[in-house]
Amino acid sequence: MICERMEKAFLEQINKELFSEYLYLSMKAYFANLNLNGFVNWMDVQVQEERAHAMGMFDYVLERGGKVELEAINKPQTSWNGPLDVFKAVLAHEQFITSSINALMDVAEETKDRAAMIFLNWYLKEQVEEEANVGNVLAQLELIGDDKNALFALDKELSTRTFVAPVIG
């Protein structure tokens, strides 16, 4: 059975993961309006990943005999100053999520919830990957600058990203 403090921490994180899904959905709409379909695809994969992250915790809390009460999701930002601005925001957001998962791990340690620690290891590893992926696109955008041809080449590359349902835990 999950303790109340750990349950509360997981519920807050579920809300953050659902907000992440919402934020990337908003970014997907932004790129669709720019007709950058590869970026749209990249965001679409990101949206699906965030839903999977949220559902992994959702199912876990229930599996541990906890109760899932969902809270309202904040309205995400809806406009940015171009792709570079978007990816700076994505990296900042993923860094925020990483620190938030680290805080969740702190709660697991403080409450001596070893099962939760093992479960959260997956999320910590996933955040390393998330930050690396985003950092890679951001670095390319910084190199591209105002070169439209290079931007379209990157857009084409991002159109190949596919969603693979993660095995969490």
Between 92 and 143, name the residue whose CB sits nearer to ligand FEO.
Answer: 92
Does the protein bind ligand FEO through residue 20 (CB under 6 A)?
A: yes
Residue from the set 2, 30, 38, 50 that interacts with ligand FEO by CB under 6 A = 50
Q: What is the footprint of ligand FEO within residues 117-136 (CB under 6 A)?
A: 130
| Residue nearest ligand FEO, CB atom distance | 53
Which tokens sit at 118? 């093992």
Does the protein bind ligand FEO through residue 53 (CB under 6 A)?
A: yes
Nearest C-alpha neighbor of 141 from the set 71, 74, 85, 98: 85
CA 9/CA 116 separation, integer angstroms: 11
Q: Nearest approach, Cβ of 110 to ligand FEO (angstroms)?
A: 23
Question: Rounded to whole angstroms, what are the CA distances from 103 to 6, 13, 32, 96, 98?
Answer: 11, 10, 35, 11, 9
Does the protein bind ligand FEO through residue 44 (CB under 6 A)?
A: no
Amino acid (one-letter) located at 30: Y
Q: What is the footprint of ligand FEO within residues 78-97 (CB under 6 A)?
A: 94, 97
Cα atoms in the Cβ-side hemisphere of radius 13 Å centred on 103: 13
Sequence-distant (6+) residues with CB within 8 A of 123 are 53, 56, 101, 104, 168
Q: Nearest approach, Cβ of 6 to ligand FEO (angstroms)?
A: 19
Binding residues vs ligand FEO (CB under 6 A): 17, 20, 50, 53, 94, 97, 130
